[in-house]
Structure 1
């Protein structure tokens, strides 16, 4: 059994990480990656920083310790922008009433600090396990997961992974995906003083939107996954017109299609194309998909009977979680990219996703410390002799 996490060291690490701005956009993951390198290299890890795009970095730490499985911890180094409305400096970890406040405290510098602690404890106990232990810390998860996509496209030998996201120290083994096509509805320009001479694309888009809402209500809401629930379709942005006195000849909608495991970008695209085709025929609309916006990625799940899920559940229960899961994320995360690369995995971390992107983001202090023990216990069980 590995040693217990050291609370003082954990708090120092989280304080240091929160103090490094890595708001995305623009990112700034390099400074976090360098901190990780300086933290893990003295422990015997081979640490590689990879610039996958100009100024954007991943950090990979590897400790090979004989034959056995390849096990990785993963979380992301970027955060959402700090924004306004904080009671304290978002880049100064501040404790109030047992909670640790700061941007990234739960999403995801809290999981990162706890994973670093678990990696340290495993490195100091390498006589009691065999295999390859990794820390894979990626950039850009908050926008398009470009770091994880780049890394996993080139790394195919990880057997099991635990992804750090705020789950209240319970086990999430599935998550939704997202697909965001842009739909352009066409009209015909005219002087706004003579609107009858044109075709108002905004009005035309208004005819399409009830069809989108009905598809969500009548079709998608009837589908369900046992862990993540229903898929969805909605409109999140609308843009049309180019001058105050011109009838708009085009209006663009951004659709947000949330995927459940078993659905893909391609299947969602085919369904939306069919919806648009019916609108063309029934309403005489001119509309088309013109592209798609980048997202974190698709939906995924690891079967409950998989070894990593069972080990994760046991570790969370041993740390006091009576209802440890498995559960499913309504949002997306980087787990899908590791599964696409051949791994099985779970998502675990301290904190509540509902406070993650808000002012006064926080992680409960005791929950944060326990998360490092959970991570260490999982690594020990996967790699233990």
Structure 2
């Protein structure tokens, strides 16, 4: 069967494919406290397991385990420790034949962000409302449309009586919104393939790079006294500002030094600052937190941490107080950068599949936001791309939505990619 037949079968069965997405959206699978306090993914994973079992998948359930997250953190500086992991499991569903052709993983996450501002939504966030060619609901764009499109791509091939020419694995993971622990678990459990598609929403573009990120906390000590006798004390806030100003100078140097064809320049954002107790008291302590987004390849975790450490040390040596009371630096979250060369076989297969469906070449771009692509590429060593229905602007937003046509087109593109890539 050719592309015309696949599209005809999609058109014939699209109400079923849309219904399956709506059913998944209406299951509340939100994370608690950015995953630290757990997540409600289980009911969604149970639903998907039943559906995939009906489709004839080889199923493997993989509970999230702190020991594996810790091991990855020690080896790769990836994984977020101390999250509540009870009743949270990954689901891996195999189709096709192992050891024949190429293997391909379609990766998506079951967890969604909370919808605590429910009164601001035009309709309940966990009700799949269809209006004006869009499906509204929490998790539609981020990323249940991508996850279900990967499953329905297999269903489309079954409906078309097309055989998967290699091995295909659907990997539905938990705790992505908590920093990627689900895909970390999958990798620590040995899941690998010749190619991986992270099915996050990309606004009809192919993402081949994203920024790395490191979150730092800097704690500065001062000496408290009444503000009327300020000379007897040391303002921790003023000392912190001295460090922040040096950091902004370093950020400016990065803007002049680093360039990437798909990504913005590195950036440093001080997002939180806490210190002092009253306007009449010289503050004895100040703490600020920052996030650095860096370019993959040209910069890395170890080098960046060393650069921040050196900067704080340099500022401290120039200040009599800080030299004797050095600030405390802590890294509390990090994720690597991601990039993939255009000449790789998975990229070329995707370009052919996309052109066949969309009748135009795909636009290649990069993303300032990190996702699980980095894990599959950097830890797994897999050829990795990012493409899916939905767009970044809708992620985590009120009245989140996905275009139904983009969901259906993604099903077609994934199906063609499976046939092209796995056949080699």
Taking structure 1 as the reference length, the TM-score comes to 0.93
User: What pairs with 1:269-348 in structure 2 (closer than 5 Å)?
Assistant: 269-284=305-320, 285=322, 286-295=325-334, 297-320=335-358, 322-339=360-377, 340-348=379-387
Is the contact made by 1:183 and 1:287 (CA closer than 8 Å) also made in structure 2? Answer: no
Q: 1:17 to 1:43 in 2, by over 3 A?
A: same
- State the alpha-carbon separation in 1 of the partners of residues 256 and 88 from structure 2: 38
Quote the residue 2:273 is aligned against.
Answer: 238
Q: Which moved more, 1:123-132 or 1:374-383?
A: 123-132
Is the contact made by 1:159 and 1:342 (CA closer than 8 Å) also made in structure 2? Answer: no
Quote the residue 1:351 is aligned against.
Answer: 390
Q: Which moved more, 1:24-33 or 1:327-336?
A: 24-33
Query: Which secondary structure state, in structure 1, belongs to the residue aligned with residue 370 of structure 2?
Result: coil
Quote the residue 2:116 is aligned against.
Answer: 83
Deviations 1:173-217 (A, max 9, x none): 111121111111221233456443321211211222222222212
Q: Note the C-alpha offset of 1:293.
A: 2.1
Quote the residue 1:19 is aligned against.
Answer: 26
Please list every run of 5 or more consecutive structure 1 residues that lacks an aligned counterpart in the other structure. none
Query: Which secondary structure state, in structure 1, belongs to the residue aligned with residue 205 of structure 2?
Result: coil
Quote the residue 2:194 is aligned against.
Answer: 159
Aligned pair partner of 2:61 in 36, 41, 49 = 49
Is the contact made by 2:237 and 2:285 (CA closer than 8 Å) also made in structure 1? Answer: yes
Aligned pair partner of 1:111 in 124, 128, 146 = 146
Taking structure 2 as the reference length, the TM-score comes to 0.85
Quote the residue 1:137 is aligned against.
Answer: 172
- State the alpha-carbon separation in 1 of the partners of residues 16 and 28 from structure 2: 20
Query: Which secondary structure state, in structure 2, belongs to the residue aligned with residue 219 of structure 1?
Result: helix
Is the contact made by 1:128 and 1:384 (CA closer than 8 Å) also made in structure 2? Answer: no
- State the alpha-carbon separation in 1 of the partners of residues 352 and 326 from structure 2: 52
Query: Which secondary structure state, in structure 2, belongs to the residue aligned with residue 326 of structure 1?
Result: strand
Is the contact made by 2:25 and 2:127 (CA closer than 8 Å) also made in structure 1? Answer: yes
Quote the residue 2:90 is aligned against.
Answer: 58
- State the alpha-carbon separation in 2 of the partners of residues 268 and 321 from structure 1: 43
Is the contact made by 1:169 and 1:316 (CA closer than 8 Å) also made in structure 2? Answer: no
Q: 1:361 to 1:221 in 2, by over 3 A?
A: farther
Quote the residue 2:71 is aligned against.
Answer: none
Aligned pair partner of 1:147 in 179, 182, 204 = 182
Aligned pair partner of 1:8 in 7, 11, 15 = 15
Q: 1:193 to 1:126 in 2, by over 3 A?
A: farther
Q: Note the C-alpha offset of 1:252.
A: 1.4
- State the alpha-carbon separation in 1 of the partners of residues 279 and 61 from structure 2: 50
- State the alpha-carbon separation in 1 of the partners of residues 317 and 14 from structure 2: 64
Query: Which secondary structure state, in structure 2, belongs to the residue aligned with residue 8 of structure 1?
Result: helix
Quote the residue 2:76 is aligned against.
Answer: none
Deviations 1:74-125 (A, max 9, x none): 0111111213221111111112222211111111011011111012234566
Deviations 1:272-310 (A, max 9, x none): 112112211234434434322224x21011110001111
Aligned-residue RMSD, C-alpha: 2.2
- State the alpha-carbon separation in 2 of the partners of residues 249 and 143 from structure 1: 33
Q: 1:185 to 1:384 in 2, by over 3 A?
A: same
Q: Which moved more, 1:215-224 or 1:242-251?
A: 242-251
- State the alpha-carbon separation in 2 of the partners of residues 121 and 98 from structure 1: 21
Query: Which secondary structure state, in structure 1, belongs to the residue aligned with residue 282 of structure 2?
Result: coil
Query: Which secondary structure state, in structure 2, belongs to the residue aligned with residue 171 of structure 1?
Result: strand
- State the alpha-carbon separation in 2 of the partners of residues 165 and 173 from structure 1: 12
Is the contact made by 1:83 and 1:359 (CA closer than 8 Å) also made in structure 2? Answer: no
Is the contact made by 1:235 and 1:254 (CA closer than 8 Å) also made in structure 2? Answer: yes
Quote the residue 2:296 is aligned against.
Answer: 261
Aligned pair partner of 1:31 in 39, 43, 47 = 43
Q: Paired residues, what number?
A: 384
Is the contact made by 1:40 and 1:120 (CA closer than 8 Å) also made in structure 2? Answer: no
